[in-house]
Amino acid sequence: MARIIVVTSGKGGVGKTTSSAAIGIGLALKGHKVVLIDFDIGLRNLDLIMGCERRVVYDFVNVINGEATLNQALIKDKRVSSLSILPASQTRDKDALNKENVGKVLEDLGKRFDYIICDSPAGIEAGAMMALYYADEAIVTTNPEVSSVRDSDRILGMLASRSRRAELGLEPIKEHLLLTRYSPKRVEEGEMLSVEDVEDILAIPLLGVIPESQAVLKASNAGEPVILDTESDAGKAYQDVIDRLLGETVEFRFLVAEKKGILSRLFGG
Amino acid sequence: MAEASIEFKGSSFTLSVLHLKTSRLSGFRDDLKTKVAQAPDFFYLVPIVVDIERVDSSIDYQAVKLLVEEFKFTFVGFTGNVSKEQRKFIRELGFSFINSANSSVNSSISSTEKAEATTKAVKANEAIVVKVEQTKIFPQVSLFTDKIHRGQIRSGQQIYAKDQNLVIIGSVSAGAEVIADGNIHVYGSLRGRAIAGAKGHHQAQIYCQNLEAELVSINGNYWLSESMEQHWNSPAYIHLSDTELVSSKLI
């Protein structure tokens, strides 16, 4: 049975899609069969980040409505063959999805893939609820600032009360905290919440800390998920996330500000 | 001048009045026994005034007093619309006679009027200071059971412990709300809102291992976080003294 993982946050712009893309590719590179679903109907982004926007013919809503088969809608990634993308519709809105049909699509996907990664839209409305409803695990993406933490807390409440697992009284959704856009320097200066602060408030296990990095923006614009940039801090941090998701114990990196040596200070780092 | 160590003041209390309908003490005793057996806790040490308006003036007053005391009432005195001579006689026997304003505590008059009558009566009697707790008609409120919640209470969630205490093993997030008719215990940080004694329970308290609440309220008296500075970010409990909230160090 496939593991259904929702990448969610409540707040927008914290890095859900970037993280979904990175985690999707990362798991596929480890040899797993992975499908990435864009649940952000009407604000299609995942295809851009994945660099497959020109290959979208049919989308999730077409499949839901029976206008296309899964085979027609799934886009196979050109870099990693075990990864597929199910894009969102850009011309419809979130009401186009309903629980029953989404459940059917996920069931079909579950027969073919090991991991189903659901990229949730922001907010706590129908679209976000749909993305998390069938999840077995949740990666709660949070920026180290109070409003993002508050919204993540709200989403954690929804995971515990509004999901299928909650409604059926099954084992609760396994929750992971993914802290993104982390800047150890700004934490030291007291401008940003620390990892400990966020862990204390949300009280869920930490899956990863992605440092604030220029590489992320560059990767997004190029349609090359940042995890493929193995030189960048963010790429390495996402790699650690994959290892932890697969059950390995990996030490956390990039939590303290680098002390710059005299040479790099002189010549710029 | 040094302040006097005592002070007399008129005050009004609700007292139970036992109306005697028969002069036969044996019948009275049986009925009283039956009545008390129905709710022994309720009548225990309840101050009582005996109305003798409808009985013979030759009744054995001392015996009446002993009888009510036998059933664990606290005997206060006699009352009723009786002749001056009879009142005088009762006082000479060493009992209080409480005059009611309109000569008889008629059951048809309203409770406020009754209270007024009692006040007047007490005043007329040159301030008998009867120190009694307001009698509670309900059984002890401390019989609240506990509602126990394991885990965080997240932003946007609300938990209500109806007629119960609320115990939370975990933290209450900012934007969450926990409400109980009894006490609230948070084994974690209290960052949201906590409302104890929601149905009006003055003795309700709020305990937490770390006080960072947005709002705490007991029996309708509330504090916003700015009022909690003294024990902010430390283990504390909040309770009511008269009508003011007070916070105290927990450990």
- State how far the Cα of B84 lies from the Cα of B72, in Å rounded to an integer: 30
Question: Given CB atoms, is B103 within the 8 Å cutoff of chain A?
Answer: no
Strand partners, B159: B178
Mutate: best of B169, B173, B187, partner A, most A CBs <10 A:
B173
Instruction: Check if B152 contacts A (Cβ < 8 Å).
Output: yes
| Structure confidence at residue B136 as a pLDDT band (50, 70, 90) | very low
Residue of B nearest to A151 (CA): B155
| B140 pLDDT more than 60 | no
| A156/B152 CB distance under 8 A | yes
- What pLDDT is attached to residue B51? 87
Nearest CA in chain A to B191: A201
Q: What is the DSSP letter of B97?
A: B
Contacts of residue A100, Cβ cutoff 8 Å, sequence gap at least 6: none
Contact state of B170 with A203 under an 8 Å Cβ cutoff: yes
Distance CA A151, CA A120 (A): 14
Tokens of A81: 């063959």
Q: Do B157 and A200 touch (CB under 8 A)?
A: no
User: How many Å lie between the alpha carbon of A2 and the closest alpha carbon of chain B?
Assistant: 28
CA distances from A207 to A175, A217, A243, B143 (A): 9, 22, 10, 45
Nearest to A4 by CA among A180, A99, A133: A133
Chain B residue nearest residue A150, CA to CA = B155
Cβ neighbours for A139, distance < 8 A, ≥ 6 positions apart: A5, A6, A7, A8, A19, A23, A176, A178, A207
- Counting DSSP H helices and E strands in chain A, the numbers are 13, 8
Of A21, A48, A49, the closest CA to residue A36 belongs to A21
The pLDDT value recorded for residue B111 is 46
Give the minimum alpha-carbon distance from A141 to chain B in angstroms, rounded to a whole number.
16
In this predicted structure, which of A92-106, B138-152, B182-196, B218-232 has the lowest mean pLDDT?
Answer: B138-152
Q: B246 pairs with which residues across the strands?
A: B239
- DSSP secondary structure string for all residues of B130-195: ---PPPPSSPPGGG-EEEEEES-B-TT-EEEETTEEEEEES-B-TT-EEEESS-EEEEEEE-SEEE
Q: What is the pLDDT of residue A261?
A: 67
pLDDT greater than 80 at residue B123 = no
Question: ipTM of this model?
Answer: 0.81
Q: Nearest-CA residue of chain B relative to A152?
A: B155
Nearest CA to A206 out of A250, A172, A173, A171 is that of A250
Residue of chain A whose alpha carbon sits nearest to that of B176: A154
Number of A–B residue contacts, CB under 8 Å = 35
**Residue A263: per-residue pLDDT:** 65
CB-CB under 8 Å, B174 with A203: no
Cβ pair B155:A161 closer than 8 A: no
Contacts of B173 in chain A (CB under 8 A): 150, 153, 201
- pLDDT tens for chain A, 269 residues: list them: 899 999 999 999 999 999 999 999 999 999 999 999 999 999 999 999 999 999 999 999 999 999 999 999 999 999 999 999 999 999 888 888 999 999 999 999 999 999 999 999 999 999 999 999 999 999 999 999 999 999 999 999 999 999 999 999 999 999 999 999 999 999 999 999 999 999 999 999 999 999 999 999 999 999 999 999 999 999 999 999 999 999 999 999 999 987 766 666 666 54
Flag whether residue B158 sits within 8 Å of chain A, measured between CB atoms: no
A147 touches chain B (CB under 8 A): no
pLDDT, residue B122, reads: 46
A154 contact B CB<8A? yes
CB contact, 8 Å: A30 with chain B? no
Query: Between A154, A202, A203, which is nearest B156 by CB?
Result: A154
Q: Which residues contact A136 (CB under 8 A, 6 or more apart)?
A: A3, A4, A5, A165, A173, A174
Cβ atoms of residues A163 and A173 within 8 Å? yes
- Among A119-133, B112-126, B155-169, the minimum mean pLDDT is found in B112-126
A118 compared with B130, residue with greater pLDDT = A118
Distance CA B199, CA B213 (A): 21
CA–CA separation, A254 vs A233, rounded Å? Answer: 7
Are A123 and A37 in contact, with CB atoms under 8 Å apart? no
| pLDDT, greater one: B35 or A117 | A117
